[in-house]
Amino acid sequence: MHTFRLSLVSLLTASALFAQGTPPRAEEEPVSLENFIVTAHPYGRVQADLAQPTSVLAGSALLFKQSNSLGELLGNESGVSSSYFGPGASRPVIRGLAGDRVRILENSVGLIDASVSSPDHAVSLDPLLIERVEVVRGPATLLYGNAAVGGVVNVITHRIHTNAPESTINGRTEVRASSVNNELAGGLLAEGQAGFVAWHVDGYRRTADDVDVPGFAESAARRAEEAEEAAEHGEEAPEEIEGTIPNTSLVADGGAFGLTLLGRAGHIGFSFNGHNTVYGVPAGAHEHHHEEEEHEEEAHEEEEEAPVSIDLRQRRFDMQAAITRSFGAFTGAKFKFGSAQYRHQELEGDEIGTVFTNRGYDSRLELLHAAVGPFTGAIGAQASISRFSAEGEEAFVPPSKTVNRALFVFEEATWGQTVWQFGARAEDQEITLADGSGLSADDTTTSLSTGLIWNLSDDWTLGTSLARTERAPNAQELFSDGPHIGTNAYEIGDPDLAHETSLALDVSLRKRTGGVTGALTVFANRLDGFIYEQATGEEEDELDVYAYVQRDAELYGVELESVFHLHESDRHQFDVTVGADLVRGRNTDDSTELPRITPARARLGFTWITGSLSFTADVQRVAKQDRIAANEMETAGYSVFNASAGYRLTLGRMTYDLFVRGSNLSDEEIRLHTSFLKDVAPLPGRNVTIGLRTSF
C-alpha cells in the first residue's frame, strides 16, 4: 500500500486555502423522504409528493461519499450502479440502463461532452464543489428529452443564484486526502451580495497516484483463460500485475465565476466555468493490436505499447432567468441556457492519438400557467445542438451535427386525497454527417406519461407512474464504422435503426413520518426495438466486430429504502438504515440475458449523533452475477464495509467539520458487473480519507 503522505497538521494548514460546502447540522437535516427536489417537477416538490421514485444526496451524506467521479459518488444509491472505467471515468447506471439512456445535467442543463460515446470518456465535471445531486429513477423524458428514458441525474452547483445569499459574504473551504491513491483534493467557494447583485466564485484541484487494489488486477477467470491459451502455444503464462492498477493516476482542476441580478419580479444571471483533467486509462483497457513483422534474426515480435491517458478540457457559459410575478395567463417563467466547447485528446505516451470535440448548446423555456379548473402546470420548449467529431486512428464515428427541438406540457390536478400528473412531449431529432457522405437521419418521437400520488394517511403515500417514451437512435448507433478501443470492439452502426419504445411502470409505497420512514418500489420496463451491440463472430483490425441491432427486451426489479429512527432527543440520535435493490434484464426475442446488469444488493447501516460527534457505518452485500450475456464472464459476490466519523466545532462565524471515512475496510476484491473493465480493473482496496471543511 502507498504511504499516507499527508498529516492532520498539513490538512489543517491547507484548509485555509481550499473550499467546499459544509454539511448542515444533524438537527437541520430533514428526513430523507422530505428532501425538496426540482428535477422531476416544474414547480419543485418534496420526494413523497412525486409520482416517480427519486433520491437526493446532500449535506453530510454528500460529505462522506465524495469521490473522484459522479458514477462512484452515486454507485451505491438505490437502483444506481457505476460504469467504472478506472478512477478517471465513471457514469451512473440506473436500473441496468446506461450511456445515452441516462441524462446527466448540471443545474438542469445538458453537459455537452463526450461521456455518452464511450465508457472511458469522463463526465465533464468534478464532484468536489457540488451542493447536491438529484436522481430520478425511471423515464423522465417529458422535461429533459428522449435520452432520459432510463433516468436523470441533476447536479446542483448554485453558481447562479435564485435567491439572495445568506449574508453579505460567506464561503466554505475543504481539503481532503486519501490513502489508497495518495489523493489530495481541495477547493474554494465564496459568494455574497452587493446591492441587487449576487456573486459567486469557486475553484478546485485534485491529484492522485495509481490506485491500490487487493490481489491481482485481472480476475481469476481471466488469468486462467490466459494461462490456458499460453499453454496451448507452449509458452509461459504472462506475468500478472498485483497490488495496484498501473496508469490510473489523475490530475483535475477548474473553477467558476457567476453574477446574478436579483429583483422583486425575478432574476437573471450567468456563469463561466472551466474544467480540466488528465487521467490514465487502466492497463488492459486500450489494447492496440499490431501486425506481426518478420525479421531476419527474430520472427513475429510484437510492438510494445505506450500507456494511454486522456487530456480533457471544457469551457462553459450558462445563463438562467426567471419571472416570479404573474403576467397574462402565466404565474411565472423559467429560462435556462448552456453553451460549451469540449475537447479531449487520447494520448499514447506523449503522442496525440484520437481527438474528440463537442461544441453546442442546450436551452429550455418553461411557462407556469395559472390554475385552469383543478389543473396547474407548465408548457415548455427545448432546443439543443451538438457538433461532435472524432479525428485520428480510432475515429469510430464520423463527424456529425445533431439538432433537437421539442415541445412539452406537464399538468397536475388534485381530487380529494389524490394528485394526478399528466405529461406529453414531441421531439424532433435531426442528425447530419459532416464527412461529405450526405447521410442524415430525421426522427420525430412522442412521449406520454401519467402519474398518481395517493395520500393514504398523514404518514403513507402511494406513488405510481406509467410512461410510454420513444428514443431516436443517436449518431453512434446509426453511423459507427471503426475501431472503438474503449470497448475493445470494432463497432458497426445501422442507418436503418428505428425508434426504441419504452413502456415503464413504477409503483412506490412511501412512509414519510414516524418511527420508520422509507419507500418500497417495484418497476417494470418493456423496451420494443431495444438498441444494443451484438457480437457478429467476425474480426476486423484484430478486434471483435460488434454490430448495433434491435431486439425486444424487458427490465424489472424492486428497490427498498427504509430508516428505523430508534432514538431521538435534543442531543442524541440513533438510526438504522436498511436497503436492497434487484434488477433483471433479458432479451425477450431469445430469452438471453442483457449484458452488464447490476446484481442483487442489500445494505445495512447505522447513524449515531451525539452533540457535535457523528458516527456512521454500513455493510453492503452484493450477490454473484451469473445471469450473463454472450461473451461475458461471471462476477463473484462480495461484501464491503464502510465507516465514518465527524466532529463539528463552531467558533464565532467559523464552523469547522473534521471528518474521517474508511472505505472497503475489509480490503475486499470488488468487481462491478456493470463495468467494461470488471476483468482487468477492480475497485480500490482499503482506503482511509481524512479532511476538514470550514465555513464562514
Can you spell out the DSSP letters for 444-506? EEEEEEEEEEEE-SSSEEEEEEEEEEEE---HHHHH-EEEEGGGTEEEE--TT---EEEEEEE
CA-closest candidate to residue 488, choices 547, 534, 538, 545: 545
Residue 15: band (very low, low, confident or very high) from pLDDT cuts 50, 70, 90: very low
Query: Beta partners for 411?
Result: 377, 422
Can you spell out the DSSP letters for 520-588? EEEEEEEEEEEEEEEEEEEEETTEEEEEEEEEEEEEEEEEEEEEEEEEE-SSEEEEEEEEEEEEEEEET
Return the DSSP state at 406: E
pLDDT, mean of residues 466-485: 93
C-alpha cell at 195: 446591492
pLDDT of residue 49: 81
pLDDT of residue 226: 87
* Coil/strand/helix, residue 146: helix
pLDDT, one tens digit per residue, over 602-658 is 999 999 999 999 999 999 999 999 999 887 889 999 999 999 999 999 999 999 999
pLDDT, one tens digit per residue, over 499-536 is 999 999 999 999 998 999 999 999 999 999 999 988 88
Amino acid at the residue 492 = I
Percent of the chain clearing pLDDT 70 (strictly above): 92
* Coil/strand/helix, residue 9: helix
Residues 6+ apart with CB under 8 A from 591: none
Please provide the CATH number assigned to the domain covering 8-287+309-695. Answer: 2.40.170.20
CA-closest candidate to residue 595, choices 544, 682, 683, 534: 534
Return the DSSP state at 603: E
In 10 A of CB 420, how many CB atoms? 17
Structural contact between residues 510 and 519, judged by C-beta atoms closer than 8 angstroms: yes
pLDDT, one tens digit per residue, over 308-362 is 899 999 999 999 999 999 999 999 999 999 999 999 999 988 899 899 999 999 9
pLDDT, one tens digit per residue, over 406-418 is 999 999 999 999 9
Query: Model's pTM, two decimal places?
Result: 0.90
Residue 684: band (very low, low, confident or very high) from pLDDT cuts 50, 70, 90: very high
pLDDT, one tens digit per residue, over 442-456 is 999 999 999 999 999
pLDDT of residue 165: 86
pLDDT, one tens digit per residue, over 423-434 is 999 999 999 999
In 10 A of CB 68, how many CB atoms? 29
Segment holding 381, helix H or strand E: strand 375-391
pLDDT, mean of residues 204-210: 97
- The answer to whether residue 299 scores a pLDDT higher than 70 is no
Which residue is associated with the grid cell 438562467?
A: 320
Residue 285: band (very low, low, confident or very high) from pLDDT cuts 50, 70, 90: low
Structural contact between residues 108 and 297, judged by C-beta atoms closer than 8 angstroms: no
Can you spell out the DSSP letters for 323-378? E-S-BTTEEEEEEEEEEEEEEEEEEETTEEEEEEEEEEEEEEEEEEEEEETTEEEE
What mean pLDDT is reported for the chain? 89
pLDDT, one tens digit per residue, over 133-174 is 999 998 877 888 888 999 999 999 989 998 888 788 999 999
pLDDT of residue 16: 33
Amino acid at the residue 40 = A
Return the DSSP state at 595: S
- The answer to whether residue 5 scores a pLDDT higher than 50 is no
- The answer to whether residue 31 scores a pLDDT higher than 80 is no
- Extended beta strands in 132-196, E state: 132-137, 151-156, 169-178, 183-194
Percent of the chain clearing pLDDT 90 (strictly above): 72
pLDDT of residue 38: 74
Residue 431 sits at φ, ψ, to 5 deg, of -115, 125
* Coil/strand/helix, residue 657: strand
Structural contact between residues 306 and 348, judged by C-beta atoms closer than 8 angstroms: yes
- Give the CA distances from residue 357 to residues 64, 391, 412, 673, 690, in Å, rounded to whole numbers and listed in that order: 34, 9, 41, 30, 37
pLDDT, mean of residues 369-387: 95
Query: Beta partners for 544?
Result: 539
Helix intervals (H) in 193-273: 220-232
Q: Which sequence spans correspond to the domains of the chain?
A: 8-287+309-695
